[in-house]
């Protein structure tokens, strides 16, 4: 699913196309699940003839700041995506190889389409209906966003602060890394990658971590996020040494990385790929 680097890539697309421009057309799908029961006309009214002043993001949540409130907020869910029409785009693994347009040239699985007075066009799509779009005045007015930790790209916490918060936890580190109140934007692949590169087994408990362990984890986590963002979340460009390239593929993924066995377990409710010979 889209994690912090993918959502930051989406934010930058929206920023490039929309900021400083007026929205002259908004097409919102009549989907009460994605819209959280907000009438589509209400969302369209919040957008049309409004100028986008900024595009914000914390963790996996992003929003369009407009010259009047309410603002439009969104979450990509498991397979949602945003792209600029007429521009190249990456594909998430969840997208498969299906074309983005149907036989008539219309965007498949459209949930929101926006056009500016400068001719820029962006679309938000989701074939699984797990994305969400809603209205709110400010980020901290939203209950879910208000519970998030500081963003791990723009405002990462230091190791000492994290250590103080995990030192007494009896939960496995994989589950702790998925806790958005501590690690906003971190999802399954980033958690596995950070643990692998920090050489920490995913089922190690928080209370078993030392400060030096935590420092290694945080250093690797911040570096992985920054590098993935710098590469535009294009997984084909991720370093070949990353576990990312081995954790998926075939029926369950590769068996080995660097000649070492990859083990897969359910930890923290998620399938976890790790390397026992490396992670202790």
Tokens 């700041």 sit on residue = 65
Count of CB atoms within 10 A of residue 33's CB?
A: 12
What is the strand order of the sheet 52-58 is part of? 52-58, 61-66, 71-75, 132-136
3 in catalytic set: yes
Is 34 in contact with 132 (CB distance < 8 Å)? yes
Q: Which of 3, 6, 115, 193 is catalytic?
A: 3
Q: Which of 40, 50, 60, 111 is catalytic?
A: 60
In sequence order, what DSSP letters do the residues of 223-251 get, joined into one string? Answer: HHHHHHHHTTT-GGGS-TTSTHHHHSSTT
Could you tell me whether strands 81-84 and 121-125 are parallel, antiparallel, or unpaired per DSSP bridges? Answer: antiparallel
2 in catalytic set: yes
Task: Report angle CA 21, 24, 29 to the nearest 5 degrees.
Answer: 115
Q: Which of 2, 70, 139, 202 is catalytic?
A: 2
- At residue 131, φ and ψ (nearest 5 deg) are -70, 165
Reported as half-sphere exposure (CB side, CA atoms, 13 A), residue 271 has a value of: 8
- At residue 55, φ and ψ (nearest 5 deg) are -125, 115
What is the set of active-site residues? 2-3, 60
């Amino acid at each position: 699913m889209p994690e912090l680097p993918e959502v930051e890539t989406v934010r930058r697309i929206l920023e490039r196309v929309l900021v400083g421009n007026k929205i002259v057309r908004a097409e919102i799908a009549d989907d009460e699940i994605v819209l959280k029961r907000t009438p589509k006309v209400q969302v369209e009214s919040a957008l049309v003839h409004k100028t986008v002043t900024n595009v914000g993001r914390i963790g996996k949540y992003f929003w369009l700041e407009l010259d009047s409130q309410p603002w439009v907020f969104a979450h990509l869910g498991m397979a949602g995506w945003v792209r600029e029409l007429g521009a190249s785009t990456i594909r998430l693994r969840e997208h498969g190889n299906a074309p983005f347009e149907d036989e008539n040239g219309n965007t498949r699985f459209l949930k929101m389409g926006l056009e500016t007075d400068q001719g820029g066009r962006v679309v938000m799509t989701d074939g699984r209906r797990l994305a969400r779009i809603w209205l709110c005045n400010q980020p901290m007015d939203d209950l879910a966003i208000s519970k998030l930790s500081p963003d791990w790209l723009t405002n990462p916490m230091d190791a000492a602060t994290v250590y103080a918060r995990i030192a007494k936890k009896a939960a496995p580190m994989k589950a702790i890394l998925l806790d958005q109140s501590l690690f906003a934007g971190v999802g399954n692949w980033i958690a596995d990658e950070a643990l692998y590169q920090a050489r920490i087994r995913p089922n190690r408990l928080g209370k078993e971590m030392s400060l030096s362990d935590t420092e290694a984890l945080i250093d690797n986590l911040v570096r992985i996020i920054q590098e993935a963002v710098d590469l535009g979340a294009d997984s084909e460009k991720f370093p070949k040494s990353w576990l990312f390239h081995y954790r998926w593929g075939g029926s369950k993924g590769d068996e080995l990385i660097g000649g070492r066995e990859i083990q897969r377990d359910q930890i923290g409710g998620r399938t976890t790929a790790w390397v026992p010979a490396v992670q202790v």
